[in-house]
Structure 1
Amino acid sequence: MHYQARFHQLLNYIDSHLDEDLTVEKLSHIACLSKYHFHRQFSSLFGISAFTYIRQARMKRASYQLAFKKEMRIVDIAMANNYESSEAFSRAFSQSIGQNPSQFREQPDWIPWYEKYQRFKKMRVQRMQSCQPLYHVDVVKMSEIKIAALEHLGSFESLGNTIKHFIHWRKDNRLSPKVSRTFNIIYDDPAVTEPDKYRCEICVSIKLDVKPNDQGVFAKIIPAGRCAVIRHIGFEDTINKAITYLYSEWLAENEEELRDYPLFFERISLFPDVAECEVITDIYLPLK
């Protein structure tokens, strides 16, 4: 466990320093390992080389920056992900993702993107499972929250397109994360729901009414009531483990009953604004 914890610390370091030159000397020093054996140790534990992990992590962050950070120029995204030029970045991105950066920015093809990153996701989930989290659950009484919401109905893999539309509406209405809270209402589990029937809502807290709009954003209320809440810090890929703990262990141990309202998240910090290992999500389970 101590050995795996060192690699856990190393991957968090990598994900927080993707814009730096990550040499084997630096990485082996962070992990407290010999540089002569580092690559074999990393590959044996994770199934891919350290540099493959770094390349894929940079491409994932660049994908999010292209899709959701329109204020960032492509050349700035290239520099932020340690490429010497936009041309080098474009070649690498096209080979990795299957679209060049301009094409992905204009119309991301998320379904093959998700398929490509399944191995990357599974590797990280397995890594997190080796470090058992200790969940702290609070029971809070929520006040009513007025929100603007955009429904997503379709495969989980195409959620990025709905997020993109919502970001446009949010910017047009000057509701940045600095001035309004971000929520997701989760109606279905993508692991057991048919892809075309998966449903969730992307939401933002509001004070004024929602004006008629082309994006389909509408006003609604998150009702007041008791909730169990877990603060999840880290990769989105591991959030289901915290949810499973709430349903399978915490509810039974505390003899609580569920309220007739779906699970919802509050996004305290978002990727790629922060490194994936630093993303904060509060998970709310409504209680009677």
Structure 2
Amino acid sequence: MQFIDAHLVDDLPLARLAQVAGVSRWHFQRQFAALFGLGVYEYVQLRRLKRASLQLAFRPQQSVLDIALDCGYAGPEAFARAFRRQWGQSPRAFRQAPQWHDWHYVYLPLYTLRNRIMTALPDHQPDIVERAPTPVAVLAHRGDPARLGETIRQFIAWRKRQHLPPATHATFNVLYNDPYTTPPADYRIDLAVACPHPVEPGPEGLSAGELAGGRYAKLRYVGSDDALGMALRTLYVDWLAQSGETLRDAPLWIERVRFFPDVPEHEAICDIYLPLV
């Protein structure tokens, strides 16, 4: 799975993947399906189409052709056929009106699978740091995580109008609970961007907020969000228990340093900030 993540734009014939796994191609395809509940080609296509769908939804400046090539397809026709089979929408129709509810529940089994199998976690201890208060503009998402994509699109649209690009204005997520273990109606997350000037109102509903200053345990995590929850549990359960530190009564938050789908999912970077007394 790690090899596939790192080579999604390459040709991935069964023989090559079997060689990486160290078994014959006949045994490999049977073992993969038995372990993971889907065929290897189906898995590869789901990974490719996940990145492609997010590029379509969140990166309107990228052409459909560039997205197709970036995700390992020979051209737009093959990409469009695969995309339509998966979603029942053409790539351009998805870009205009993504069916987020369907998207979320198609990828939920994939998240569960990868979270169980792929356990690569940070191999270092967090740093204890002092943070100054950070003024931010906040867009709150409340309710079904399957609708989070809609909120992200609104957040991006507001940032573009206000000229607050990620390259110069840091992006944060305030995490109140786990989307995969929380009842959908109770799910809560804040999308935030560093914004030192007054927040201008708009139809998206952003408001002024602040990430509190103080002491934090800061842990850098590199990789897919699929295993982010496991990294958070490791921080809470393993590190905190032996650290002698006490949690502050505040939610943790993360800073997005390198974004998927701008980079491959396994190269995404975020810094986790756990508030301490």
Query: Fold-level match, TM-score > 0.5?
Result: yes
TM-score (norm 2): 0.91
- For 1:66, the equivalent position in structure 2 comes to 56
1:250 equivalent to 2:257? Answer no
**Structure 2 Cα separation of the partners of residues 191 and 35 of structure 1:** 34
Q: Secondary structure at the match of 1:226?
A: strand
Residue number among 197, 201, 213 corresponding to 2:190 in the alignment:
201
SS of residue matched to 1:184: strand
Q: Does 1:92 align with 2:82?
A: yes
In 1, Cα distance between equivalents of 2:81 and 2:216: 48
Describe the superposition over 1:41-83 as per-residue Cα deviations: whole angstroms up to 9, x where unpaired: 4334433332221111111111101110101122222222233
CA distance in 1, matches of 2:97, 2:34: 37
Matched, 1:111 2:101: yes
Determine the C-alpha separation between the residues in 1 that align with 2:136 and 2:170. 9
Deviations 1:134-166 (A, max 9, x none): 452221111111111111111112111100111
Which of 43, 55, 63 in structure 1 is aligned with 2:33?
43
Aligned to 1:52, the other structure's residue is in SS state helix
Question: Aligned partner of 2:126: which letter?
Answer: V
* Secondary structure at 1:282 match in 2: strand
Paired residue type of 1:276: E
* 2:9 alignment counterpart: 19
**SS of residue matched to 2:156:** helix
Give the alignment's TM-score, normalised by structure 1: 0.88
CA RMSD of aligned residues (A): 2.1
Q: Which runs of 5+ in 1 are unaligned?
A: 1-10
What displacement does 1:33 show?
Answer: 4.5
1:189-228 Cα offsets, whole Å, 9 max, x none, are 3345332232211111123222232221222211110011
What percentage of residue pairs aligned between the two structures are identical? 41
Structure 2 equivalent of residue 283 of structure 1:
272
Q: Distance in 2 between matches of 1:17 and 1:173?
A: 36
Looking at structure 2, the residues matched to 234 and 203 of structure 1 have their Cα atoms a distance apart, in angstroms, of 21
Q: Distance in 2 between matches of 1:46 and 1:189?
A: 23
- CA apart distance, 1:37: 4.0
Contact 1:135 1:242 in 2 (8 A): no
Which amino acid in 2 is paired with 1:155? D
- C-alpha distance 219-260 of structure 1, shift in aligned 2 (>3 A): same
Deviation at 1:179, TM superposition (A): 1.0
Structure 1 segment 259-270 matched on structure 2, within 5 A: 259-270=248-259
Q: Note if 1:136 corresponds to 2:96.
A: no
The CA deviation at 1:239 is 1.0
CA contact (8 A) 2:252 2:273 kept: yes
| Distance (Å, rounded) in 2 between the aligned partners of 1:188 and 1:47 | 28
Q: Which residue of 2 aligns with 1:238?
A: 227
| Distance of 1:274 and 1:18 partners within structure 2 | 12
Q: CA deviation at 1:170?
A: 1.2
SS at match of 1:268: strand
Contact 2:122 2:222 in 1 (8 A): no
Q: What letter is aligned with 2:203?
A: D
> Bigger CA drift: 89-98 or 153-162?
89-98
CA distance in 1, matches of 2:180, 2:114: 18
